[in-house]
Chain A
Amino acid sequence: MESEEYGDANGLVRLLDVHRPELLRFLTARCGSADEAEDVVQEMWIKVSGQATGPITNGRAYLFRMANNLVLDRARGRRRSMQRERTWLEAEGGGVAHMPEDRADPGEPADEIIAREQEAEVLRDAIAALPEGAQRALRLYRFDEIGQKEIADIMGISRSGVEKHLALAMKRLRQALADCGAFDAAASREHGDPGLNQGQGGGKPHMEQGR
């Protein structure tokens, strides 16, 4: 049977084949669109078949993580380009006059650098404002790149305690960024539901307020 041949050639390709329905279902829920889910699976397939992988202990989890990361890459790109658009519109004064592509110099990198610096600053302050445990766990996790299990040992708390600290930290940092309008366009566009923008002033960018 021909399907056997490629199955033994590349374990991940075969696994992708086996788990495709579940991955599609996951991606459809994750992207909110069946078409985009298909795109991502195609992207995965290209990556997986052209990639030399070392031994993988849990191939299924590996594929799900890969799918999740690809969706995130897309979201990241979308957020950046929306931010860019917004900056141009703002610069037009009122933001009604021109479409972004009509602007003379749409690629102004200075804007972006400023935006990044502001984001970093918001994050720095938000980290400093975290409760002690959450702050320590987060620093170990993200700056010292220590695994959750090891953090539990270092801090002398349970594994789920570490998870709670980290989740709280992520939630607070996300709130800080949201309050500065960091997700305004990107998040609400996906499902047409602006319900998660709890920041002051809703849809308006407030990047400067952090100062």
Chain B
Amino acid sequence: MKSEDDTILAEAARWHIASGDDAMDWDAFTLWLEADPRHSSAYNEVALTDGLLQEYRDTLQDASEPLADEPLIAVNDAAPLETALETASEGAEIIRPAFGKRIRWAGFAIAATLAAVLAIPQFMAPASQVYETTAASRQIALEDGSTIMLAPRSSLTVEGRHQDHMALSGGALFDIRHDPDRQLTITAGGLRISDIGTRFDVQAQDKRVRVSVVEGKVEVSSERLTAPVQLAAGKRLSFDGDAGTASVAEVRSEDVGAWEKGRLSYDNAPLALVVTDLHRYAGVEVAVPDALRDRRFSGTLVISDGDAALRDLAQVMGLRLGGRAGAWRLEQPAS
């Protein structure tokens, strides 16, 4: 039995079990699936197994104790010691799904469905355009002359007759022309950003969103915020949808959208966020233990070489970079 496959299957089983819980971290699961195409197959097999288990539930339950005269097949001849070790180590490598965090979508929850039928033409007719980037960024030109630079590994959906409704996952630098007749709305990780003509950058990963304004002014609102926030030039709003917190800080305009020029600048940013950006912009994956996720980083990383950026980050933060290319880990040094 190849041990690598065994690890994958153990992880797949962990994800499958976690998926039964409301607190399942679907974004982390997505990353896990993306990391290796074998992950999806392994997950399928585990989930199909569970499906069969439920399908045959009645049959299996009746015979809950195997009959003594029935030949018993030892499927996996594991010695007790091995079992103990396996149980202890299984899933140790996996990004732990976070439990206990829950967002209430009170506004959405009371869902009246009658009008849904009427909604079909609106949803379907102005065909939405989906822009997705892989390793390279991409410029998107809107009909009114506005431009959007979509970051690598990001996705932007543009909808509405006036291209005025967008949904972003990942990063993008918006350069929007002023048009009094139109208000642009961007949804990203639980935030709504409204704009009348400005230049601003949005980074959205999971429920963490950063909005940085270079010119003009935007309005940011969310179910999680008591009131909309007006964000002026030179300001950055950092929103954490899980914690339900938002903070506004100064930002240097030359640092906004600097990813376009190959660097990422931070001021007191949580390590988890920096690592997410490094994945998006430099294509490197690194695991961060929970204890380090909120460690703060300030500084600039050059992202032309992802592994080098990672080494720089580890050095500045006094952490150790363990593992190997493709499976890096940031660790607290022993001493």
Q: Does B294 contact A (CB under 8 A)?
A: no
| Minimum C-beta distance from B169 to chain A (A) | 4
One of A4-12, A84-92, A101-109 contacting the partner: A4-12
Query: Given that A21-B169, A64-B26, A68-B19 are known contacts, is A119 also in contact with B116, CB under 8 Å in the complex?
Result: no
Do A175 and B76 have beta carbons less than 8 Å apart? yes
Q: How many inter-chain residue pairs (CB < 8 Å) link A and B?
A: 289
Residues of A within 8 A of B111 (CB): 10-12, 53, 55-56
The listed residue (A17, A122, A167) touching B167 by CB distance below 8 A is A17
Which of B58-66, B282-290, B303-311, B317-325 is the contact stretch?
Answer: B58-66
**Interface check B104, CB cutoff 8 A:** yes
Question: A134 interface residue, CB < 8 Å from B?
Answer: yes
In Å, the complex CA distance between A168 and B87 comes to 7
CB of B165 within 8 A of CB of A3, answer yes
Bound CA span A24–B153, Å: 13
Q: Would A5 and B60 count as touching, CB distance under 8 A?
A: no
Query: Are A168's CB and B5's CB within 8 A?
Result: no
Q: Is the CB of A148 within 8 A of B40?
A: no
- Per-residue contact bits, chain A 49-75, to B (CB 8 Å; 1 contact, 0 not): 111110111111100110010001001
A59 and B313 CA atoms in complex are apart in Å by 36
Q: Does A210 lie at the interface of the complex (its beta carbon under 8 Å from any beta carbon of B)?
A: yes
Q: Report whether A32 and B17 are in contact in the complex, using a CB–CB cutoff of 8 Å.
A: no
**Is the CB–CB distance between A168 and B90 below 8 Å?**
yes
> Do A193 and B37 have beta carbons less than 8 Å apart?
yes
Closest to B59 in A: A120
**Given A163-B91, A183-B48, A143:B56 Cβ within 8 A:** no
Q: Which residue of B lies closest to A2 (CB)?
A: B122
With a cutoff of 8 Å between Cβ atoms, the chain B residues found around residue A168 in the complex are: 13, 86-87, 90
> CB distance A3 to B160 under 8 Å?
yes
> Which chain A residue lies CB-closest to B183?
A1
Chain B hits for A134, CB < 8 A: 87
Q: Majority SS of interface residues in chain A?
A: helix
Q: Decide yes or no whether A81 CB sits under 8 A from chain B.
A: no
Q: Which residue of chain B lies nearest to A18 when distances are taken between CB atoms in the complex?
A: B187
In the complex, the answer to whether B72 meets A167 with C-beta atoms within 8 Å is: no
**Complex partner residue of A58 from B102, B113, B170, CB under 8 angstroms:** B102
Does residue B168 face the partner (Cβ distance < 8 Å to A)? Answer: yes
Least CB separation from B92: chain A residue: A164
A64 to chain B, nearest CB (A): 4
Q: Tell me which of B45, B114, B120, B187 has the highest count of chain A C-beta atoms within 10 A of its own C-beta.
A: B45
Q: Is the CB of B45 within 8 A of A76?
A: no
- Which of under 10, 10 to 19, 20 to 34, or 35 or more describes the interface residues of A? 35 or more
- Residues of B within 8 Å of A29, CB to CB, are 30, 33-34, 40
A9 with B112: in contact, given A1-B185, A175-B76, A187-B44 (CB under 8 Å)? Answer: yes
B139 at the binding interface (Cβ < 8 Å): no
Q: Least Cβ distance of A76 to chain B in Å?
A: 6
Chain B 122-160, CB within 8 Å of chain A: the 1/0 string? 110000001010000000000000000000000111011
A205 to chain B, nearest CB (A): 16
Contact of A204 with B by CB under 8 A: no
B73 partner residues in chain A, CB cutoff 8 A: 125, 129, 210
Whole-angstrom CA separation of A163 from B20 in the bound complex: 10
A58 and B105 contacting across the interface, CB-CB below 8 Å: yes
Contacts of B57 in A (CB 8 A): 142-143
For A188, the chain B residues whose CB sits under 8 A away are 41
List, in ascending order, chain B residues with CB within 8 A of A165's CB: 87
Interface status of B227 (Cβ within 8 A of chain A): no
Q: How far is the CA of A51 from the CA of B22 in the complex (A)?
A: 20
Q: How many Å from the CB of B166 to the closest CB on chain A?
A: 10
How long is the Cα–Cα vector from A160 to B92 in the complex, in angstroms?
11
Closest to B15 in A: A167
Contact: A190 with B66, CB < 8 Å? Answer: no
Decide: A187 near B41, CB < 8 A? Known: A129-B72, A175-B75. yes
B12 contacts across to A, CB distance below 8 A? 171
Q: A120 contacts which chain B residues (CB < 8 A)? A: 52, 56, 59-60
- Bound form: Cα–Cα A6–B168 in Å: 19
Contact flag A2-B120 (CB < 8 Å), given A120-B60, A183-B48: no
Residue pair A6, B115 in contact (C-beta under 8 Å): yes
B68-89 to A contact mask, C-beta < 8 Å, 1/0: 0001111110101001001110
- A187 CA to B108 CA in the complex, in Å? 38
B60 & A11 in contact (Cβ 8 Å cutoff):
no
Report B-chain residues with C-beta under 8 Å of the C-beta of A75.
44, 47-48
Known contacts A21-B169, A22-B27; can you find 12 more A-B pairs with CB under 8 A?
A: A3-B164, A6-B119, A13-B119, A18-B167, A21-B132, A26-B30, A26-B33, A55-B111, A119-B56, A163-B17, A170-B50, A177-B45
11 residue pairs of the A-B complex, CB under 8 angstroms, read A3-B164, A10-B112, A19-B167, A20-B157, A22-B169, A31-B40, A58-B105, A76-B51, A163-B18, A172-B76, A179-B75
